[in-house]
Amino acid sequence: MSKKLRIGIIGTGGIAHAHMAAYSKFEDVEVVGGADIVPGKAKEFMEKWNLPDAKAFESARELIENVEMDGVSICTYNTTHAECTIAALEAGLHVLCEKPMSFTLQEAVDMVKASKKANKILTIGFQPRYDITRRKVDDIIRSGALGTVYYIQSGGGRRRGIPGGTFVDGDKAGYGCLGDIGCYSIDQCLHAVGYPKPLTVSAVATDYFGKNPKYFSGADTFNVDDFSVAFVRLENDMTFLFKQSWAMHADTLGDTLWLGTEGGIKIKNEFDYGNKPSRVMYFTDVNGQNIDSFVLPSLPFNAYESPKEVDIFEAKVRDFCDAIIEGRPAPIPGEEIIYNQAICDGIYRSGKLKKEVEIVIPELDF
């Protein structure tokens, strides 16, 4: 592709600026348009980023129908991810959709079906996959060093970190901390073991802090979860203990663990998610002697092994662009993230029903 890659941005709120910051660094990419349902917001976005030739609209459909593009970033609120993604795919555009993939499992399935039918890329915005800690842990587990993995546990969590705006509006966000940072934890834990199929979920979701004006100024309109915990049964006799929070009276919900028949891995979660270095330890035994070793020393969350730090968000956006240019498959394919969405969907339903729920993945006829 000799000409510049032409990109549009659907939804020009907070996260769209992170996408634009990345696109602006690529000489072979130009942002040619944007859309936002708030009158004037897309225009203000283009002016802020000094894009006088970019077109601004108040609907995704107008942008798609009036501007020639190769791909789009979907940066709308969660409950419209599916609608906007499917419209773009049906118009022949490649899509980078922000996380969480969607609100419901069925929406995620419909998005993947649209991608397959159009033969276009659908990649989901999980930038922590470009983190050195993630990559090293994935390599160790996939090498077979842990033997058969039977238990996985997410950790981390925020002591105080309730966002505002659409994040705490259930009609727009769908989920609270589950969809904001919980989907990252699910991806971190399950991508390393090949995303086993989820079978059942028993979950509890609470809103004690978000509903309390002592901790959140918008307590009167807060209507999502600020804490979620779940026990997830996976295929192949694996179990997954999920925990995530926006606010709590502790500095962490614990360490991230993978336990196997031959070894175990622990990511020490001593601080808020992504704000401090992580330490990775590997545990095994040799001839009856317990062996504990550091896999990684303290490293910045967004550091690669190279001396120069690389922004993992920028890496995510660059990978999307390169996949389009080089004709490669989606870097983080929607069909894989269906299982992530299935777990989010199950946690949400179980929390509402206050009982264990079965996860049924719709047939994917492609």
Taking Cα atoms as reference points, which of 300, 5, 275 lies closest to residue 133? Answer: 300
Mean pLDDT for the stretch of residues 265-292: 76
Taking Cα atoms as reference points, which of 74, 360, 33 lies closest to residue 201? Answer: 360
Taking Cα atoms as reference points, which of 272, 179, 271, 185 lies closest to residue 226? Answer: 179
Residue 109 has pLDDT above 90, yes or no: yes
Helix (H, G, I), strand (E, B) or coil at 355: coil
Beta bridge partners of 202: 231
Beta bridge partners of 180: none
Q: How far apart are CA 88 and CA 79, in angstroms?
A: 16
- The full set of domains in the chain, from first to last, is 5-127+314-332 (3.40.50.720), 129-304+341-358 (3.30.360.10)
Lowest model confidence (mean pLDDT) among 42-46, 262-266, 302-306: 302-306
Residue type, 267: I
Q: How far apart are CA 158 and CA 250, in angstroms?
A: 8
Q: How far apart are CA 104 and CA 79, in angstroms?
A: 8
Q: How far apart are CA 339 and CA 59, in angstroms?
A: 30
pLDDT digits (tens, 9 = 90+) for 128-177: 999 887 888 999 999 999 999 999 999 889 999 999 999 999 999 999 99
DSSP 291: E
Regarding pTM above 0.75, the answer is yes
Say if residues 182 and 344 touch (Cβ distance below 8 Å). Answer: yes
pLDDT digits (tens, 9 = 90+) for 202-243: 999 999 999 999 999 999 999 999 999 999 999 999 999 999
Beta bridge partners of 10: 35, 74
Helix (H, G, I), strand (E, B) or coil at 106: helix
CA angle centred on 161, ends 241 and 253, rounded to 5°: 25
Tell me the two tokens of residue 3.
């000409």
How many CA atoms lie less than 13 Å away from 250 in the CB half-sphere?
11
Helix (H, G, I), strand (E, B) or coil at 64: helix
Mean pLDDT for the stretch of residues 267-296: 74
Q: How far apart are CA 70 and CA 352, in angstroms?
A: 40
**100 upstream amide cis, omega within 30 of 0:** yes
Helix (H, G, I), strand (E, B) or coil at 243: strand
pLDDT digits (tens, 9 = 90+) for 51-67: 999 999 999 999 999 99
Number of helices (H), then strands (E), belonging to the chain: the values are: 11, 15
Helix (H, G, I), strand (E, B) or coil at 10: strand
Query: What is the helix (H) or strand (E) element at residue 138, kind and residue range?
Result: helix 132-142
